[in-house]
Structure 1
């Protein structure tokens, strides 16, 4: 579950970075970032790879990733990481 109490205040400066994401560009497929119900491999792997490829060229990749980690975003590709990768990163941070 997303930790909504940790979300930034609802002011333009807190959210403005999202306007610059590659996922917001005309050539981006918004469906690539979130899996449809019942999706399985290899379709899931192909979709995830498309989303992550866009993220690698994104000017706000780090900001997006930190947002997803700080709010514990439960779904989708954020900052070039899927749900499992974010959980692993958070677990590693807790251990360190």
Structure 2
């Protein structure tokens, strides 16, 4: 069997090494961690709505965060997004309607 060829093993965290051995990975497939994004209200929007530019402070930051929260509030996957940010320790941006500071304060 050629390297990278599907072996019939039906598991995301297993594969076949070039020498034919079955190998297991301890990493979680990224696709599964991100699949909720397909239904996200922010899909296709500019990241600048959710992530601050360098040195953004004060009222400008609050306006941007409020705009991001307005998108998040009605999002069907808001809690999935928020859980992702907390699970994977996203340090920057608005995720699931929560800001960097809010997530930092929860931990």
TM-score bin (small chain): 0.7 to 0.9
Gaps of 5+ in 1: 1-6, 91-96
**TM-score normalised per structure 1:** 0.75
How far residue 16 of structure 1 moved from its aligned partner, in angstroms, is 1.7
Query: What CA RMSD, in Å, does the superposition of the two structures yield over aligned residues?
Result: 1.7
Larger Rg: 2
Task: Identify, as 1 or 2, the structure richer in strand.
Answer: 2
Give the aligned partner of residue 106 of structure 2: 89
CA distance in structure 2 between the partners assigned to 1:57 and 1:8 by the alignment: 29
How far residue 80 of structure 1 moved from its aligned partner, in angstroms, is 0.5
SS in 2 for 1:42: helix
SS in 2 for 1:17: helix
Gaps of 5+ in 2: 1-26
For residues 48-88 of structure 1, what are the alpha-carbon distances to aligned partners after superposition, in whole Å with 9 as ceiling and x for unaligned?
Answer: 00001110000000100000001110000001001110112
Give the aligned partner of residue 15 of structure 1: 34
For 1:1-96, what aligned pairs fall within 5 Å after superposition?
A: 8-11=28-31, 13-25=32-44, 28-90=45-107
**TM-score normalised per structure 2:** 0.68
Aligned length: 81
CA distance in structure 2 between the partners assigned to 1:58 and 1:8 by the alignment: 25
Higher relative contact order (CA 8 A, sep 6+): 1
